[in-house]
Amino acid sequence: MQLLIFFEVEKMAALLKELIGKNTVVIFAWESCPYCQRAKALLTGLSKDVAYLNLQTMPNGDAIHQAIIAQTNHETVPAIYIRQQFKGGFSDVDGLHRSGQLVPLLTGS
């Protein structure tokens, strides 16, 4: 049983890596989350390459969320990745924006 659980964890970690590698910005969210909506509005206003992934409707959403928690110790949504690096939730990314650090992260400069 432990081997099966380990396999699933590894499988979800690989899937998470694949998902965050497809776009400059990846937001893992829940549909009813107001901070998720605010993150989406902020980031889609600054970048054309944003993926908004609803964990509640995607296959293996709960398992992907558990992989995010295991890798980042961030239990809430949104969980935001920029250029394959975990940046935190909305408050963290909004703080980067207010300090002038977000746009350089998005543009890679």
Domains assigned to the chain: 2-107 (3.40.30.10)
23 or 6, higher pLDDT: 23
Output the CA torsion 100→106→107→109 (10° steps). Answer: 60
pTM over 0.85: yes
pLDDT in tens, 20-73: 999 999 999 999 999 999 999 999 999 999 999 999 999 889 999 999 999 999
Summarize pLDDT for 64-102 with one digit per residue, the tens. 999 999 999 999 999 999 999 999 999 999 999 999 999
Question: Can you tell me which residue has the tokens 């776009």?
Answer: 23
Angle of the 61-72 helix axis to the 2-20 helix axis, nearest 10: 90
